[in-house]
Amino acid sequence: MVTEYVAGPDLARLLREQGPLTGSNLEALAVGVAAALTAIHGAGVVHRDLKPANALLSPLGPRVIDFGIARALDAGRGQTVTGKILGTPEYMAPELVSDSRSGPPADVFAWGCVVAAAATGASPFASRTVPEALYRVVHDTPELEALEPELRSLVEAALNKDPQARPSAMDLLPGLVGQKEAQATARVAGTVRLNLSGLLTPVARVEDGAPSPATSPPPFWRRPYLVGGAAAGALLLGTAGVLGFQALPQGPPETTDVLYRDDFADDKSGWHSDETRLDVGHGYTGDGRYTTATDSSNNSRYAAAPVNAEPPEHALVSAKAVFTAGTPYSAWGGVFCEYRLDDKQFSYYNAEIRPDGHARIRKAGHATSLNLTPDIPVPGFKRAGTVLRAECERDGDRVRVGFWVDDEKVAEVVDENAADARGKPKFGLGAAKWPGDRTDTRVYFDDFRIARLS
């Protein structure tokens, strides 16, 4: 993993030398780190050691660094401890103390600790010994009176002892910027900035067109600013293309030219199938459905439709999906469009949703794996049966993907760097889980269709 060079101090040093952050600087710090976590989690990574020393500050906003917990040092307070403890004790989530399961909620807990530390100068669980810190993390209710009410409520939610009750990093962003929902399909209108004048040595050179570090931004949750797009379009790790977020029409496109359909009543219709039974890992169920499930050896499973006709460059693929197992923040199921020339030149575009009703568009290839959108909350999502639709259109090195959950269009992206999207299109369905999650994902599918669009 490669991160940019940042000519600025880390937050821990700033707190030691200058004291707590206030006003718009504190707000910008909270937004910037939450947006960075959204991107990190979208890239399939859990940081596991978020703390002030790993947040570098610059006029363009905070940058989260140090993803090398596997190479952590074993000495001294404030350093990562290997062995039974992974993380810095006073920034660790309670679940890491009890069973060491580290997922995105643990990073959200650490975000709450970092924001509280930025406002007060120390973690709300700061202690003189490691055992004391671990006890406080598990049992203490933190004092957050130094935070403004709006920010305090978000930090309190992030510090919930129950990981499943915490918001995701993406869920934090609407509250931080004063939006009711993160409208991830709108055009990005701004960027995270810190006013470091008076706090740091002035930056020697500012690129043409870049804002001066002396310009003080207004508080973030009062700015006409959309963080959801920033998290997806500006902060994604390893993104290889330019993503276009557009104002979206509501309903899916009308289709009359249905190229392929399968209600899975026939368990010999050509799909991959290990065998026919309800709990099969990958195949027909015998009751008119198709299922995919992860296991200890497979974090994801996908199946392409056995289409004999010439596949279209512009298509709408759809299926009804029902989740019966999976961790709410980790499980994914959906439909995909694939363009494959060979084992080294291909791209998948997955339109998928979680059991808790968060949707995304994800791209995967030989050397690429990234989220093209943040995780977007879908109001009224029905875990026990919803229709997922993906519109895929390839035009040279450009691929456009739209995503509907039932009749609600939740996302549309344009990948302008789709050079690996070669070969005949394929369409299918699948399920996935976060690597390391002990709970497997299972999704049942029905009424799969591919329609040719003009």
In the residue annotation, 49 being an active-site residue is answered as yes
* Contacts of 282-287 spanning 24+ positions with Cβ under 8 A: 285/444
Nearest to 253 by CA among 389, 441, 405: 389
How far is residue 119's CA from residue 121's CA, in Å, rounded to a whole number?
6
Confirm if 354 and 375 have CB atoms less than 8 A apart. yes
The residue among 229, 436, 236, 444 whose CA lies nearest residue 330 is 436
Would you list the DSSP string of 41-84?
Answer: HHTT---S---GGGEE--TT--EE----GGG---SSTTS---SS
Q: Give CA–CA dist 28/26, Å, rounded.
A: 5
Cβ atoms of 329 and 453 closer than 8 Å: no
Could you tell me how far CA 400 lies from the centroid of its own chain?
Answer: 20
CA distance 336 to 338: 6
Beta pairing class for 442-452 and 282-284: unpaired
Given 49, 107, 262, 446, which residue is catalytic? 49
Tokens 């919930």 belong to which residue? 160
Q: Report the alpha-carbon distance of residue 347 to residue 161 in Å, rounded.
A: 39
Active-site residue set? 49
